């Protein structure tokens, strides 16, 4: 009996010692999104699946990141919205990795042949797992990480997250744009927290909806890392949003010729507190002076090998980012 207790104790200690750091892989899907979050518990959450076609390029890249992370299934797949660069790769990915839970904002609102077809294909794959429709204020039960839904289905949180809610002085200069009737405005937006570390990813949430997140009061608070919305396209990323988040690090999941716009690069660089900008691609249409230094860019050539950026968050709130192309790593101390 004593021996059994000793073995049980050793197994418990081994399991406790095996707890990992929070890891996030920003997978290059050429101007779409595929962000793989791996919790200290080992559970996984994937935000979007990239494009369809391209000889399964994006599904292969996601599967490669999952293998590197030791992930054999996707516990939670969040589809932010039903555009081709976000939901298009779901069928190809599901053929490579089991997906347990499918999370989205609900029915498609953009009724064009392309988007209706993408949504129908997604529904067919989704039917093989568990479907969870989220609304602002919900949490996603990823073990070991706090995942808060702050936007979904065209709505945003009405009450601030803990520690947030301060007035946003930039709101007085906000200029509203024409309403966005597309799926972009329906995007699922997340705040992912581990200890003192906070990462904000709002999918492709557009200009007017961003206002509701941070104006007149900033309902999400500051971020250590901001996944720049909409790949850095100027349909999103108002100064009111970016300045309110005050991220230490901004990551653009842009493609060579999609996203990384001059206006958004300027907004991010003008934001107080930003230490570094990282990019999945060199933005061809922006001047070199606005692009990140090559050291911080995962893919510097338009024809590339799809290198990723990897974030690792330590238990004390410090974090590091590694560029898979050149193995450059930078560590950021706890704020």
Whether residue 13 lies inside any domain: the answer is: no
Whether residue 42 is predicted with pLDDT greater than 60 in this model: the reply is yes
How many other C-beta atoms are found inside a 10 Å radius of the C-beta of residue 166? 14
Which segments within the chain are labelled E, that is strand? 22-26, 35-38, 44-47, 74-78, 99-104, 130-133, 139-140, 146-152, 155-156, 166-167, 189-194, 197-201, 217-218, 225-227, 249-252, 276-281, 297-299, 309-313, 319-323, 329-332
Whether residue 234 lies inside any domain: the answer is: yes
Q: Which residue has the tokens 């999103």?
A: 236
Whether residue 9 lies inside any domain: the answer is: no
- Strands 217-218, 225-227: parallel, antiparallel or unpaired by DSSP? unpaired
pLDDT band at 12 (very low <50, low <70, confident <90, very high): very low
- Residues 275, 67: Cα–Cα separation, whole Å: 31
Give the count of domains, the chain: 1
Q: Are 247 and 273 in contact (CB under 8 A)?
A: yes
48: left (phi over 0), alpha (psi -120 to 50) or beta: left
| Residues 6+ away with beta carbon under 8 Å from 161 | 148, 150, 191, 219, 220, 221
User: What's 328's domain CATH number?
Assistant: 3.60.15.10
Bridge partners (DSSP) of residue 74 are 99
- Residues 173, 160: Cα–Cα separation, whole Å: 22
Q: Are 244 and 218 in contact (CB under 8 A)?
A: yes
84 burial type by CB count under 10 A (0-12 exposed, 13-18 middle, 19+ buried) = middle
- Residues 92, 125: Cα–Cα separation, whole Å: 10
Whether residue 34 lies inside any domain: the answer is: yes
- Residues 316, 221: Cα–Cα separation, whole Å: 19
Which two structure tokens, joined as six digits, stand for 175? Answer: 């200029």
Compute CA 53 distance to the chain's CA centroid, rounded to the nearest angstrom.
22
Please give the average per-residue pLDDT across 20-45, as a whole number. Answer: 97
Residue % of the chain over a pLDDT of 90: 92
Which two structure tokens, joined as six digits, stand for 67? Answer: 């293998």
Whether residue 324 lies inside any domain: the answer is: yes
Whether residue 161 lies inside any domain: the answer is: yes
- Residues 67, 90: Cα–Cα separation, whole Å: 17
Query: Which whole-number Å values give the CA distances from 19 to 43, 90, 193, 196, 321, in the listed order?
Result: 11, 29, 17, 18, 20
Whether residue 8 is predicted with pLDDT greater than 90 in this model: the reply is no
Cis upstream peptide for 99 (omega within 30°)? no
- Residues 220, 148: Cα–Cα separation, whole Å: 10
Whether residue 212 lies inside any domain: the answer is: yes
Whether residue 10 is predicted with pLDDT greater than 80 in this model: the reply is no
Provide the residue range defining the domain that includes 281.
20-332
pLDDT digits (tens, 9 = 90+) for 116-173: 999 999 999 999 999 999 999 999 999 999 999 999 999 999 999 999 999 999 999 9
pLDDT for 9 equals: 45
Whether residue 3 is predicted with pLDDT greater than 80 in this model: the reply is no
Structure letter (DSSP) for residue 229: G
Compute CA 218 distance to the chain's CA centroid, rounded to the nearest angstrom.
20
pLDDT digits (tens, 9 = 90+) for 176-220: 999 999 999 999 999 999 999 999 999 999 999 999 999 999 999
CA torsion sign for 164, 165, 167, 171 is: positive
266: left (phi over 0), alpha (psi -120 to 50) or beta: alpha
pTM of the model: 0.94
Query: Which whole-number Å values give the CA distances from 318 to 134, 197, 252, in the listed order?
Result: 30, 7, 21
Whether residue 12 lies inside any domain: the answer is: no
Structure letter (DSSP) for residue 199: E
């Amino acid at each position: 009996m004593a021996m059994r207790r000793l073995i049980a104790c050793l197994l418990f200690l081994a399991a406790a010692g095996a707890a990992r750091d929070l890891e996030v892989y920003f997978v290059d899907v050429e101007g779409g999104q595929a962000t793989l979050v791996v919790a200290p518990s080992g559970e996984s959450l994937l935000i979007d699946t990239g494009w369809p076609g391209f000889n399964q390029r994006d599904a292969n890249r996601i599967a490669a990141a999952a293998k590197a992370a030791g992930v054999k299934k996707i516990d939670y797949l969040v589809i932010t919205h039903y555009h081709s660069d976000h939901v298009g790769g779901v069928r190809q990915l599901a053929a490579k990795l089991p997906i347990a839970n499918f999370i989205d904002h609900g029915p498609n609102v953009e009724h064009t042949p392309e988007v209706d077809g993408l949504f129908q294909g997604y529904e067919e794959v989704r039917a093989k797992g568990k479907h969870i429709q989220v609304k602002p204020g919900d949490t996603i039960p990823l073990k070991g990480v706090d995942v808060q839904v702050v936007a979904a289905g065209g709505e945003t949180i009405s009450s601030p997250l803990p520690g947030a809610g301060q007035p946003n002085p930039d709101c007085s200069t906000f200029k509203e744009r024409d309403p966005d009737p597309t799926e972009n405005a329906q995007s699922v937006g997340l705040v992912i927290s581990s200890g003192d570390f906070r990462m904000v990813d709002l999918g492709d949430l557009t200009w007017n909806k961003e206002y509701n997140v941070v104006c007149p009061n900033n309902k999400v608070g500051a971020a250590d890392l901001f996944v720049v919305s909409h790949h850095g396209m100027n349909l999103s990323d108002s100064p009111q949003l970016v300045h309110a988040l005050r991220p230490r690090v901004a990551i653009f999941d842009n493609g060579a010729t999609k996203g990384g716009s001059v206006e958004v690069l300027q907004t991010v660089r003008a934001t107080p507190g930003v230490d570094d900008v990282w990019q999945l691609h060199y933005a061809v249409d922006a001047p070199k002076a606005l692009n990140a230094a090559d050291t911080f860019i995962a893919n510097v050539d338009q024809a590339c090998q799809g290198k990723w950026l990897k974030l690792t968050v330590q238990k004390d709130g410090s974090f590091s980012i590694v560029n898979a192309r050149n193995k450059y790593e930078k560590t950021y101390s706890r704020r």
